[in-house]
């Protein structure tokens, strides 16, 4: 057990400076520019999926929440909302940034996510022209989902808090995986997670819908431990929308529309994940 503990900490401690600097930059962006980005999304209708994909790729919770609020207020199209959701990767990007050896993987994920988000966004806008809303909600209320921890604290405190939480969670996941490999063996774990099978991207896509950082952290760590394939990681990150989907579930009255959004994301993620798995 002591060996597993030492091994887990040995891999994670070098991540701390990278995680902190990444979250510090994220907090700075979120505190300075959310209103500008909100106005940009609302005003550029024809460029919505393009701009949404570029904003969504920035690793912070605000953009998916903003997109959900603007969609409920009929300020952006379904395609723009989907572009933001698909481009969002929650906490996976900071974790990969903290692993310099994964730089190529990180750039491939970012590039592919932008492309897929744009394509799916414009495709859905071409097929679905409008949506209806029963009751509108103010963006002020929606923003509170992303600001529950702030309570007047500065960005350094928030970056440290986020770094600590993610570090602890990654440690728990890494410790559990190392223990499992020690106890049941890597081959058995790969068998349980259908490693190499076309079903793994399907499972990963479903996992991505978990509405907090847990999904992206687990997926990233499984990939770093070579248990999850790149196609499965990508499928899971396509459905990892941060708090955006949770906001829709709590505040949006049109449940059929939410189901449509979830199905579009799931089908897109599994198709692309299986394609990447095979080719």
Report the C-alpha gap between 218 and 193 in whole angstroms. Answer: 13
| Residue with the larger pLDDT of the pair 251 and 13 | 251
- 196 φψ region: left (φ > 0), alpha (ψ -120 to 50), beta (else): left
Give me the pLDDT at residue 36, please. 67
Per-residue model confidence as pLDDT tens digits over 23-64: 787 777 666 656 666 676 666 677 889 988 998 888 766 678
In terms of Cα–Cα distance, which of 230, 15, 227, 273 is closest to 107?
230
Quote the pLDDT of residue 91: 81
Q: Is 232 a residue whose pLDDT tops 90?
A: yes
**What is the number of structural domains in the chain?**
1
pLDDT at residue 193 greater than cutoff 60: yes
pLDDT of residue 29: 67
**Confidence band for 274, pLDDT divided at 50, 70 and 90:** very high
Domain span including residue 199: 2-278
Neighbours of 129 (CB within 10 A): 8
- Across the chain, what does the average pLDDT equal? 81
pLDDT of residue 34: 60
DSSP 182: H
What's the confidence (pLDDT) of residue 137?
Answer: 43
Res 183 pLDDT > 80: no
The pLDDT of residue 135: 43
Least confident of 38-52, 94-108, 112-126, 238-252: 38-52
Least confident of 43-47, 213-217, 271-275: 43-47
pLDDT confidence of residue 250: 86
Which DSSP symbol is given to 91?
Answer: T
- Non-local (6+) Cβ contacts of 43 within 8 A are none
Measured CA to CA, the distance from residue 240 to residue 171 in angstroms comes to: 20
With tokens 């770093």, the residue in question is 224
The three-state secondary structure class of 179 is helix
Q: What is the pLDDT of residue 8?
A: 64
pLDDT tens by residue, 115-169: 999 999 999 998 886 554 344 444 555 555 455 545 556 788 888 887 888 888 8
More confident residue, 168 or 79: 79
At residue 7, does pLDDT exceed 70? no
Confidence band, pLDDT 50/70/90 cuts, at residue 212:
low
Single pTM value for the model = 0.81
Q: How much of the chain exceeds pLDDT 90, in percent?
A: 28
Helices (H) and strands (E) in the chain, counts: 15, 0
């Amino acid at each position: 057990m002591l060996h597993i503990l030492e091994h887990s900490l040995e891999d994670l401690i070098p991540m701390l400076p990278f995680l902190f600097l990444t979250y510090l930059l994220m907090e700075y962006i979120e505190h300075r520019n959310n209103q500008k980005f909100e106005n940009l999304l609302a005003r550029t209708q024809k460029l919505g999926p393009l701009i949404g994909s570029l904003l969504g790729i920035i690793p912070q919770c605000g953009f998916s929440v903003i997109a959900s609020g603007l969609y409920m207020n009929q300020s952006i199209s379904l395609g723009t909302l989907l572009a933001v959701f698909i481009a969002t990767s929650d906490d996976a990007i900071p974790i990969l940034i903290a692993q310099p050896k994964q730089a190529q993987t990180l750039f491939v994920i970012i590039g592919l996510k932008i492309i897929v988000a744009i394509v799916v966004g414009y495709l859905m806008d071409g097929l679905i022209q409008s949506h209806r809303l029963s009751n509108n909600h103010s963006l002020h209320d929606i923003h509170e989902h992303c600001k529950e921890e702030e309570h007047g604290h500065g960005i350094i405190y928030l970056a440290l808090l986020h770094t600590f939480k993610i570090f602890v969670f990654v440690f728990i996941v890494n410790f559990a995986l190392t223990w499992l490999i020690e106890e049941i063996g890597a081959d058995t774990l790969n068998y349980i997670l259908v490693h190499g099978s076309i079903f793994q991207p399907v499972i990963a896509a479903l996992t991505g819908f978990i509405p907090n950082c847990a999904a992206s952290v687990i997926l990233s760590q499984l990939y770093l431990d070579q248990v999850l394939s790149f196609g499965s990681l990508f499928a899971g990150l396509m459905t990892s929308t941060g708090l955006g989907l949770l906001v829709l579930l709590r505040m949006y009255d049109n449940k059929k529309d939410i189901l449509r959004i979830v199905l579009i994301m799931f089908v897109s993620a599994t198709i692309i994940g299986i394609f990447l798995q095979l080719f």
